[in-house]
Amino acid sequence: MRDAHPRERTVGMAWYASDAEGIGGRLREQPTDFRVEEVETVEAAPADSDVGDYAHLLVRATLHGWDTNDFAARLSDALGMSRERVSWAGTKDKHAVTTQLFSLQGVSADDVPDVNNADVEVVGRLGRALQFGDLAGNEFSIRVRDLACDTEAARDRVAAVTDDLTALVDGTRERARVGVPNYFGHQRFGSRRPVTHVVGLHVVRGEWREAVLAYCGDPADTEPEATQDARAIVDEEAASDDPDWQRAVDAMPGYLRYERSMLHRLAEGNGETEDVDEDARFRDALEAVPSNLQRLFVNAAQSYVFNRIVSERLERGLPLSHPVEGDVVCFADRSLDEDFAVPDTSREQRVTARRVDIMQKHCARGRAFVTAPLVGTETELGEGEPGDIEREVLAELDLSPADFSLPGAFDSTGTRRAVLVRTRLDATVDDEGATFDFALPKGSYATVVLREYLKTDPLEL
């Protein structure tokens, strides 16, 4: 195995699964270089259905250079309603052309606004809001430019990586597929300033002050100078015996609206008496952001723990494609096409010595998946060496499943996730770069596939 890039190691991604050289290069030189389209599963009623029965308008938006959260905010502003009434099935990256569904509560088809750099079409109506995960997966077409080697060498390297990743699928029914560790990609934690999991870890430990300051302060050298200066002021005020949070609000650029919301809450409380509980004040500040972002903090902490567990599994030489004694395996969700199958966590099987062989066969046939936990209050850890890894990672981070019993949107019961993701991949190399076409089940990251082929700084992804 090859060591991952240092930036990736900070978010728990310690290894590449392939030993072959990467081609280098850059993604997203142009938004059209990165195309994503949701594979939809939602069935809508006609757009003229009764609003009393179908309160949510379903629209399909093709977005050019829009972050999902920002587009949702733009829609809600244009419609004059709370952003909590805008829902979507999956979060997409800003630097791409993305096609995805949104549901709009209490909105008629005639009221859908025009938004710059977005093509929005009405699909129909739903009796409920879209929920996160209401999709089978995503199809990707991704162009890589400025390769670090010539065309012939790039073709050889792509082929060598593919061979390595095909071997990782070890024993599965279709050798045409490649497999990669099902890491949460770097962007899960913040592409240029990966601190979302740091905030989440503080939240889970009940360190509300540290959580707010990790999000609002702590400047990163990858940020614009004005942003770094504003975060430095936050750190200055935090270190003061009498912090002036309004100064921090005034310094924070307008485009950092979540930081401003948190700091504004703190500024409003500057005149309160000293006996006000500080934890309560900082928790209130953190709750100034939308509930989906509050959940994202804890989800990012869970994702970091998961990445650490998968990395340790790789380091110890435990397989990802088939189970060993002590593993927790989940059977595939039978409602989804095989190409987009994910674990059905209601159909869980603990792998004992007597059942290793049969469970390995189920995994080889694509009927089941080896999993690791996204830790929450209902998580039951594995046994044997897989369980040892899970417990050691949690102990290093001073966490336990019970810690995820938290107020409001921060609470999480946890779930399990496959440690390996498979895909059929078509790669072509020409004198202008390389193009990768593939599809992934929901929750898996295109950059986790591409990092194996590029082996470059994640900021280039």
Helix (H) or strand (E) holding 101: strand 97-105
Q: What is the sign of the dihedral through the CA atoms of 84, 89, 91 and 95? A: negative
Catalytic residue among 3, 50, 93, 431: 93
Pairing of strands 97-105, 34-40: parallel
Length of the chain: 461
Query: In whole angstroms, what is the distance from residue 453 CA to residue 125 CA?
Result: 41
Q: CB of 128 within 8 A of CB of 140?
A: no
Residues 6+ apart with CB under 8 A from 138: 36, 37, 38, 39, 90, 439, 440, 442, 446
Do residues 103 and 126 lie in contact, with contact meaning Cβ atoms separated by under 8 Å? yes
The alpha carbon torsion through 53, 56, 58, 61 (nearest 10 deg) reads 170
Contacting residues for 14 by C-beta, under 8 A, at least 6 apart? 3, 4, 8, 308, 311, 312, 314, 315
The residue behind tokens 């990012």 is 300
CA distance 211 to 143: 37
**199 within 8 A of 297, measured Cβ to Cβ:** yes
How far, CA to CA in Å, does 138 sit from each of 40, 172, 278, 389?
9, 22, 43, 31
- Tokens (6 digits) for 91: 């979060």
195 closest CA partner among 217, 170, 228: 217
93 is catalytic: yes
Across-strand partners of 142?
34, 436
Show which residues are catalytic. Answer: 93
